[in-house]
Every structure is written in structure tokens, then in C-alpha cells.
Chain A
Amino acid sequence: MGDFDFGVILNNLPFLWQGLQLSLWLTFLAVLGGIALGTLLALARLSGIKPLAFLAAAYVNLIRSVPLILVIFWFYFLVPLALGRPIGGFYSALIAFVMFEAAYYSEIMRAGIQSVRTGQVHAGQATGLSYWQIQRYIVLPQAFRNMIPILVTQGIILFQDTSLVFVVSLRDLMTASSIVARTEGRLVEMYLFAALVYFVICFAGSLFVRRLQTRMAT
């Protein structure tokens, strides 16, 4: 423990920074895609159209009972097969994350939509708005607002989850740290450094969520 080598971290900083950028970029795109698809799934479940609601519920429950690693393996295999050509590790991983996180975001959005009082929907109907207009102008804006802290928390979880692209050797922060750890023979330094970076980002994120919650409570 006495010979902790900071040099190995400094020397490889550009490589690790590239890894972190991939992690953040993947998180950002997956959050956007996950919320979009998740909202559609939530609307489908609450649509009142039985087959549609059933399919959406089946999808959400299926995905939620399977580990993320297995979902990543699934899409690494399925995406090139369905498209007929390989599209690269990053996009396969991105599709896997969007499909996986959408199930979790849909549960959050479902709660958010249900938190909007039905009187508001009735008022919208009474003024002659269509279903989509009511969702677009009345329900969804309030649902998003009410759920912002939980959506951000799920984003932090998603950021931690992106470390799992390690299993398909995509070079995010985790994989980059592990490559340096092995080639330089510095396991302790690199894994503790990776832990520190993840901790700082996630802890800052959770403090931000706490501030949002106190501001929304008042």
C-alpha cells in the first residue's frame, strides 16, 4: 500500500478522459432515448386500449426481471442480425441501454402521469382538446415536472450502469481503467481511481437531486 503510484494515473489521463467522455455521452443519449420510449410505454399502458396496454406491461415486466448484462448480450447479437450489418459496439450498446432503461423510465412516467389530477384532463376535454393535445399541453408537462428528481436519480443509476459495457469491451471509463490496470500492472491505483471518479460524479448528482427536492417541496 505504501507504494501508491499517482504517476500511472497522470500518464494515462488523456486515455481515461476519453473513456469518461464515452460514459457520459452514452448516459446522455440513453437518458434521452429511455425517457422518450418510456413515456410512450407509459402512455400505452394508460391508454385504455387493452391489447396495447397488455403489450406494454408485458414488455416492461419482462425487461425488469432480466439483468442488464443479459440485455446487452441480447442486443449485441440481435441488432446486427436485424439490420443485416454490424453498426459498431457503441450503437449496439446504446440501443440496449435505451430498450432496458425505457422499462424503468416508463414506471416513473406512469406514476408521474397518474400524479396529474383527473380534473385537469376533464377540463382539457371540456375545452375541446384532442387526446394528444391534452397529453402534450396538460398532462406530460406536469408529469415531467413532478418526476424530475426521480428522473435525475434514474439518470445517476444509468451512469453507473454504463460501466457494464465492460462485458463487451467498449472503452468507457471502466474499461479504460481496466486496460491501464492490466498493461501497467497497477490494479489498486486504477480501480480506486475509477471508483473515485464515479463517486464524485454520482455524489454530486445526488446532492443536486436533494436540492431539487427541497426547492420543489416549498
Chain B
Amino acid sequence: MNYNWNWSVLWEPEYLGWLLSGLGWTVSVALCAWGIAMVVGALVGVGRTLPSRLVSTLCTAYVELFRNVPLLVQMFIWYFAVPEMLPEEAGRWMKREMPQPEFVTAVVALGLYTASRVAEQVRAGIEAVPTGLKSAATAQGMGVAQVYRYVLLPISFRLIVPPMTSEFLTVFKNSSLALTIGLLELTAQSQQIAEYTFQSFEAYTAATVIYVLIALCATIVMTLVERYTRIPGYVGKGN
């Protein structure tokens, strides 16, 4: 091994600034994408369990489509292919005038991809609710919407919190794919520092440590959420 160590490079204002701005982009992409994933994932996951054949088929198709194409390919399709496929006006707007095109594209691509994984958790949660509860609610004269609103969703959304923790961690890691469309998030910044300074070891170590810290923070947040949403008497079921 022949390597010149120089850890001080990480404290030079220029490179430290790059790392921090990379961290900012990583967290923003991940949190915004998570927001989309929760909303779309909940809708699609519920849709898969609905009695309507049409809706459940469409939602199943969504999950299969987004789960079986690599995120990188999806990212490229949103960034390079979609503007070409849209009507001319809209395509030109996406390419020329849309603010922060890399950021918006990364958020949309990562959000819709993660939604397919969230949807699977939501569906599993709804299916984990004992069928007797649903039958009891129907016997009381509740309609489908009421069964979901008052029985299925309040229980299943709390049941799926533990498995959602790992999806939440994954969204931060997957946000690194935004570098392929030119967003300078944390991984991209560390690689750029490595290229500028030849201090690859230091640069990658910095990024690694930051990702570990992100994972720790995310785990702590989710542990608190888990504690708050746990259903008394249901303990251990979700683990």
C-alpha cells in the first residue's frame, strides 16, 4: 500500500462546503421522495385490496412495473425520455424552464419507485388485520369506505410502522442514484473531492461516516414513531 494520508483536506472550507451541500441535497431528495412514496404508496396499497377488479388490477400493475425495472433506468426515463414523449410544449418546458430539473426528476423518480415498495407494505398490513374484524364491521352495516376508514386503516397503518423503518433507510441510500443525472448529492460530492485532491480514502470515509450518521438518526426517529404508534396488546406482531 502506497498512500499519502491527509485528513486535513476534509476541513478545508471549500471541500467541507461541498460535503455539507451534498448532505443537504441527499436529505432533501430523500425526504421529498419519501413524502410522495407515502401518499402514492398508501393509495396504491389500499387499491390492491379493494373489491373492484379494475382498481386492484391497475394497482398491481403499478407495483409490478415499478418494482421490476431498476431505479437507474427509471431515473433516466424520467430525465431523458419523458420530455421527448410529451407534447412539444410540455417537453420544452421540462427541458428548459422547469426549476431545478435534476432535483425534481430525482424526487419524482425515487418517490414513485419507493411508492411501489410502500404499497406492498400497506397491502401486507391490511391483509394482516384479522378477517373477523372486517366481517364484524360489515355486519354492523358499514360500507366499504367506512370499513377502511374506521377499522382496516387505523390498525394496519400502525402495524406496518416497523417494516417501514427499513424502507425509510433505503430511500436515503437510493437518493445517491440522483448523481447519475447530475445532482451533486453526498456521494457525488465525495467523488468530486476524491478527483480534485486525490485523497479518495479521506473523501469516501467522510461520506461513509455521514451516511452512517443519517442511518442512525433515521433509526432513532423511526424507533420513536414505533413506540408512539404501537398497538397495546399487539406487541411483537410486526417484528
A82 at the interface (CB under 8 A from B): yes
Chain A: number of interface residues, binned into ranges? 35 or more
Most buried by B among A1, A73, A203: A73
CB proximity of A66 to chain B, nearest CB, Å: 5
Main secondary structure of the interface of A (DSSP, over half): helix
Residues of chain B from 160 to 175 with CB closer than 8 A to chain A in the complex: 169, 172-175
Stretch in A47-55, A108-116, A156-164 touching the partner: A156-164
Q: Please report which residues of chain A, range 50-77, place their CB below 8 angstroms from some CB of chain B when the two chains form the complex.
A: 62, 64-70, 73-74, 77
| Minimum distance in angstroms from A149 CB to a CB of chain B | 15
Within 8 Å by CB of A195, from B73, B201, B214, B216, lies B73
Main secondary structure of the interface of B (DSSP, over half): helix
Task: Determine the distance from Cα of A178 to Cα of B80 in the docked complex, in whole angstroms.
Answer: 11
**A167–B188 alpha-carbon span in the complex (Å):** 10
Does chain B have a CB within 8 A of A194?
A: yes
Pick out which of these stretches binds chain B: A32-40, A122-130, A184-192: A184-192
Contact status of A77 and B200, CB under 8 A, knowing A166-B72, A187-B81: yes
**Contact string, B48-83, partner A, CB cutoff 8 A, digits 1/0?**
000000000000000011011111111011001100
What B residues does A66 contact at CB under 8 A?
Answer: 173, 208, 211-212
The answer to whether A199 touches B65, judged by C-beta atoms less than 8 angstroms apart, is: yes
A187/B84 in contact, CB under 8 A = yes
Contact with A along B1-41 (1 / 0, CB 8 A): 11100000000000000000000000000000000000000
In the bound complex, how far is the Cα of B80 from the Cα of A70, in angstroms? 24
Note all chain B residues with C-beta closer than 8 A to A163. Answer: 70, 72-73
Query: How many cross-chain pairs have Cβ atoms below 8 Å apart between A and B?
Result: 109
The reply to whether B215 and A166 form a contact with Cβ atoms under 8 Å apart is no
Min C-beta distance of B108 to chain A, whole Å: 15
Query: B176 near A202 (CB under 8 angstroms)?
Result: no
Q: Is residue B114 contacting chain A, with contact meaning CB distance below 8 A?
A: no
Closest to B173 in A: A67
Residue of A at shortest CB range from B215?
A65
A1 touching B85, Cβ below 8 Å: yes
Interface size band for B: 35 or more
A81 within 8 A of B: yes
Check A65 against B212 for contact (C-beta < 8 Å): yes
Our pick among A70, A161, A188 for the contact of B70 (Cβ within 8 Å) is: A161
The answer, among B64, B176, B211, for a CB contact under 8 Å with A65, is B211
Residues of chain A lying within 8 A (CB to CB) of residue B204: 70, 73-74, 77
> CB distance A164 to B208 under 8 Å?
no
A82 CA to B67 CA, complexed, in Å: 37
Cβ B84 vs Cβ A188 within 8 A: yes
Residue ID in chain A nearest B169 by CB atoms: A65
* A195 and B81 alpha carbons, distance in the complex (Å): 12
User: What separation, in Å, do the CA atoms of A169 and B173 have in the docked complex?
Assistant: 21
Q: Given A77-B194, A82-B1, A163-B73, does the pair A67, B81 have CB atoms closer than 8 Å?
A: no
Known: A70-B176, A70-B211, A181-B80. A195 touches B190 (CB 8 A): no
User: Do residues B187 and A67 form an inter-chain contact, with CB atoms below 8 A?
Assistant: yes
A167 / chain B contacts, CB cutoff of 8 Å = 179-180
B207 within 8 A of A: yes
Q: Report the 6 A-B pairs with minimum CB-CB distance, sorted nearest first.
A: A65-B215, A67-B176, A202-B68, A160-B70, A67-B173, A163-B70
Beyond A65-B214, A68-B176, A160-B71, list 10 extra A-B contacts (CB 8 Å).
A65-B215, A67-B172, A67-B174, A163-B72, A166-B180, A174-B70, A178-B76, A187-B84, A194-B73, A203-B64
Can you list 30 pairs linking A and B with CB atoms under 8 Å apart? A64-B169, A65-B169, A65-B211, A65-B214, A65-B216, A67-B172, A67-B177, A68-B173, A69-B176, A70-B190, A70-B207, A73-B190, A74-B204, A77-B200, A81-B1, A81-B3, A160-B69, A160-B71, A163-B72, A163-B73, A174-B73, A187-B84, A188-B81, A191-B81, A195-B69, A195-B77, A198-B73, A199-B68, A199-B69, A206-B67
